[in-house]
Structure 1
Amino acid sequence: MSESPVLLESDSLPHCATSELDSRQPESLEPVDAAAPFNRSNADVILRTSDNVDFRFYKLLLSLASPFFANMFALPQPGPLDKAADQTKYGLPIIPVAEKSFALYKLLSFCSPVYDIELPVLENLDVVMLVLDAADKYDMKCMGKFIVKMIIAPEFLEQEPMRVFAIACRYRAEAETNIAARYMLRFAIWEPAYVAELDFISGSDYQRLVKFHASCGQAMSQLVRLWSLFPLPPLDCKVCRKNGLPRLSLKSYQDSVIDALRVRPCAETLMNTEWIEVLVRKAGSCPNCRDRVPRKMVEYAKELAVPINEIISEIHLEIKPY
């Protein structure tokens, strides 16, 4: 009688969720079969994970995805009854792998035909790195490129832009690296905290990010010639002026905008509530203006985003191959 398949973690669960598989100790448990679709009887090889879960899969699919496995299977293979043969199960050779079942499930899902299984969900960047490391280990270059394209999803960029940049840069994914670098313009260059993935890129790579950020900031001075086309929203009203409240000169107002954009060269900078509050205090705006200015500034930032993005598009972050 065959062993009962073990249920793998659902793709909907976060990577850090505690599961039976995570707590399995290989030295204390007998191997069990993975759940469908990795328990098919017509498979021709078994991959056994470090937590003793057996995945039945196909040599052809592994060979197409991985030169590592293609070379392995090209070697003369002993028969199932050959005493020189490695361990077998169901008459199939067993290949031990260092990955845990959680990671191997996702890796093999990427190797499977799209009509056979849905693409696995990569819940967070920790999961991304698990799968990318495995793909890199087995020389699955095409799969690695495909997975790297997934890291620029909004949920990853918004939560951990520096990690996205470092991962994309590590795998020399130029388009994704540039997208992450542009997202980083929402922060002052010194604001993002250290992330472990920075250890896998060179100092030159990080220096190019700093240079890109600085170049974009310096280029914001080009907006000076666009004030007539994009006049700044007023910080005061007739009531303010009638009551003789302090006013911020137009030149100081424009300089404040340019200075803010030099530090964080993106339209989102002008939507920052703390920065807007400083401006209205300098202008001595009345209560009505203090309520109105943030809304007007958001509208203005959306308009100014067009020339800002055009200026930034002229600046390229160079990613050199290793």
Structure 2
Amino acid sequence: MSTLNTLVITDASSPFDSKAKADVILRSVDLVDFHALRYLLTLASPFFDSLFNDASPDIIKNEKPVITMQEGCRVLGPLLQLCYPSSPPLFEDIGVLMEVISTASKFCIDSEGFLGSLRHAVLISPVMQANPERLFAIGIRHRWGDVCKTAAARSVALEVESALHRRTFGDELSHITAAELYILINYHQEIADVALRIAQEIESGSGPANANVVAPYPNNIWFSSKDIPLPISFFKDHTNGCQSLQITRKIWVYDLHPDDHVFTIDVPAWWYEYTLDIGFRFRDKPCREMILDPELFQKAVNKAIHENSRCTKCRDDASIIIRRLHDWTYVFARVVEDNVKEVKLNTDFS
């Protein structure tokens, strides 16, 4: 008995099992038979057209020619699945993904349909959740803008989720330049700096706002005066010596009515310091939880009320201050999150 007869040949799972509508069988190097339609495969790449025309199969199974491939089933299966109008394969192993990409390149499979399915499979894969930095490098190499953007954002999120996470790369790093790697590093930094940048931009220093002052800063964040947790009446009727009056800062705000215009208002230093504290904390861990950190909130409340306990107005307004400060925190969180979404990944492709 020959060695070939002792080997076990199995059929692939759906959609390439023996029940599938097929006119050819592709046999992987590890003896898994994939029942496929030539027409669908030739649409994906001329490689398959040449393969079917040039092949002279010696084996016939279920009246279908069997063509032996050099690829294993774990690569051939996902590759064929991407050529079919079916659900994309689920890549759980980045090694398999890289082999599929390499094989697709070898087979010159570059149709829009195939590449779109491949990118979609990468975007939803468990690999994206676990190894975003490696997928970022792969995305850079192949100029896949959607993969790069998603991988960069996931990389930031993963560092937030786990203090033990470290950016990891494999052999794919050798295929990108230092400048391209810096794109990811710079993206991380820009995300981390968003909250602090906003906090610093709203401070005016002193003096009224006018067109000459505002014009150089078209991208600045301007808060509505209604968002600020302290009404103009806040500065009235305080006890002499109240810290809320003695130490103040000026910030830019705008009003929508009657005209859109920017102007400055005074705020107590403890409020602005609270906003800065949020910015510094967000820089360490860029997530919503840092903005809403109850420890920072309580620190601001202590400065606003307890350190001014001798001031009758501060005591009387305590509940109002706490509520307004709480509301401001959520306003600030919304603005920060909106601006995080606007951070661009500075690639030269989309």
With the length of structure 1 as denominator, give the TM-score of the two structures. 0.61
- State the AA in 2 paired with 1:304: F
Go from structure 1 to structure 2 and tell me whether the alpha carbon gap of 1:306 and 1:140 turns closer, same or farther (over 3 Å shift).
Answer: farther
How far the C-alpha of 1:174 sits from its partner, in A, is 0.8
Question: Aligned match of 2:291 in 262, 270, 274?
Answer: 270
Go from structure 1 to structure 2 and tell me whether the alpha carbon gap of 1:251 and 1:308 turns closer, same or farther (over 3 Å shift).
Answer: closer
Go from structure 1 to structure 2 and tell me whether the alpha carbon gap of 1:48 and 1:136 turns closer, same or farther (over 3 Å shift).
Answer: same
* SS of match in other structure, 2:33: strand
Go from structure 1 to structure 2 and tell me whether the alpha carbon gap of 1:164 and 1:277 turns closer, same or farther (over 3 Å shift).
Answer: farther
Question: Aligned match of 1:54 in 33, 54, 60?
Answer: 33
In the aligned structure 2, how far is the partner of 1:130 from the partner of 1:193? 22
In the aligned structure 1, how far is the partner of 2:74 from the partner of 2:6? 19
1:261 correspondence with 2:282:
yes
2:240 matched to which residue of 1?
Answer: none
Asked whether the equivalents of residues 22 and 36 of structure 2 are also in contact (C-alpha less than 8 Å), the reply is: yes
In the aligned structure 1, how far is the partner of 2:169 from the partner of 2:5? 33
1:138 correspondence with 2:128:
no
* SS of match in other structure, 1:257: helix
Asked whether the equivalents of residues 185 and 266 of structure 1 are also in contact (C-alpha less than 8 Å), the reply is: no
Deviations 1:114-141 (A, max 9, x none): 4xxxx15515253544544443442333
1:316 matched to which residue of 2?
Answer: 344
1:19 matched to which residue of 2?
Answer: none
1:31 matched to which residue of 2?
Answer: 9
Counterparts of residues 225-304 of structure 1 (less than 5 Å) = 225=202, 230-231=227-228, 249-270=270-291, 277=295, 280=298, 303-304=331-332
2:79 matched to which residue of 1?
Answer: 107
Gaps of 5+ in 1: 1-25, 78-84, 234-247, 287-292
Go from structure 1 to structure 2 and tell me whether the alpha carbon gap of 1:303 and 1:124 turns closer, same or farther (over 3 Å shift).
Answer: farther
How far the C-alpha of 1:51 sits from its partner, in A, is 1.1
1:195 correspondence with 2:169:
yes
In the aligned structure 1, how far is the partner of 2:334 from the partner of 2:7? 60
How many residue pairs get aligned? The number is 259
How far the C-alpha of 1:207 sits from its partner, in A, is 0.8
Go from structure 1 to structure 2 and tell me whether the alpha carbon gap of 1:305 and 1:87 turns closer, same or farther (over 3 Å shift).
Answer: farther
How far the C-alpha of 1:209 sits from its partner, in A, is 1.4
Bigger mean CA deviation after superposition, 129-138 or 47-56: 129-138
- State the AA in 2 paired with 1:122: L
Deviations 1:181-235 (A, max 9, x none): 23434448x96331325444332221111223333444541344257565589xx
* SS of match in other structure, 1:94: strand
How far the C-alpha of 1:313 sits from its partner, in A, is 4.7
- State the AA in 2 paired with 1:96: T
In the aligned structure 2, how far is the partner of 1:42 from the partner of 1:254? 64
Go from structure 1 to structure 2 and tell me whether the alpha carbon gap of 1:53 and 1:314 turns closer, same or farther (over 3 Å shift).
Answer: closer
Question: Aligned match of 2:148 in 160, 177, 185?
Answer: 177
Asked whether the equivalents of residues 125 and 151 of structure 1 are also in contact (C-alpha less than 8 Å), the reply is: no
How far the C-alpha of 1:53 sits from its partner, in A, is 1.3
1:10 matched to which residue of 2?
Answer: none
Bigger mean CA deviation after superposition, 168-177 or 311-320: 311-320
In the aligned structure 2, how far is the partner of 1:154 from the partner of 1:309? 25
Question: Aligned match of 1:124 in 81, 92, 97?
Answer: 92
1:211 matched to which residue of 2?
Answer: 186
With the length of structure 2 as denominator, give the TM-score of the two structures. 0.57
Go from structure 1 to structure 2 and tell me whether the alpha carbon gap of 1:89 and 1:263 turns closer, same or farther (over 3 Å shift).
Answer: same
Structure index of larger Rg:
2
Between Structure 1 and Structure 2, which shows a larger proportion of strand residues? 2
In the aligned structure 1, how far is the partner of 2:156 from the partner of 2:339? 13
In the aligned structure 2, how far is the partner of 1:154 from the partner of 1:256? 37
2:198 matched to which residue of 1?
Answer: 222
Gaps of 5+ in 2: 203-221, 231-268, 307-321
